[in-house]
Structure 1
Amino acid sequence: MRDHTEFDSFAAFCDQSPWAFDDVADVRDVSRARLDEYVAGRTDFETWEEMKTRAAEEEIIDQIVS
């Protein structure tokens, strides 16, 4: 998160959002267009899907390298 956003963690990303997220599953309740707008305005990514994909790729690389 620190490399691509202004946040230290995914929790901070959620806490600063305009929605009340109690857990990751709550993200699904937000319209994709509004979520993409938030992501584009607060991260290096244009869409939620792009951000999730990059996070997954980096996690896989970290696991392989570790």
Structure 2
Amino acid sequence: MIRITGLDEMQRRLNDIQRRAENLSGSVSFDELFPPEFMREHTDFTEIGEFIEASGYEVNSTEDFKRIPDAEWDAHVAARTTFRSWEEMQRQAGQEYVARRLGL
């Protein structure tokens, strides 16, 4: 007879991940999406605010950020991060955010 152990613990872990996944809806701030660990690993900066400030654009609101020309922002991202574009940077940050929230 083969005895399998640890199934209860695995079930508890899966239930915890499911509960966390159900709480992932809603908006996420830049500080949550781009924490210092992410910024240190992938950019020349330790905070997203420093990264934005270094772009030379004054950003005090979402509207200010949306007015930055895409090509110029992508050039800033490519020059100061490990990413080729803002889309790529956001995608990686999103994946890491979800993994953190799920406890993976």
Structure with the greater alpha carbon radius of gyration: 2
How many matched pairs? Answer: 65
Is residue 2:65 matched to residue 1:33?
no
TM-score by length of 1: 0.89
Unaligned runs of 5+ in 1: none
Identical residues among aligned pairs (%):
32
Q: What is the deviation of 1:14? A: 1.0
Partner of 1:53: 91
Determine whether 1:5 maps to 2:43. yes
Equivalent-residue separation in structure 1 for 2:92 and 2:42 (angstroms): 10
Runs of at least 5 residues in structure 2 that lack an aligned partner in the other structure: 1-38
Runs of 4 or more, structure 1, over 4 Å off, are: none
What CA deviation, in whole Å up to 9, does each residue of 1:10-41 have, x standing for no partner? 11111211111113x12211111000000000
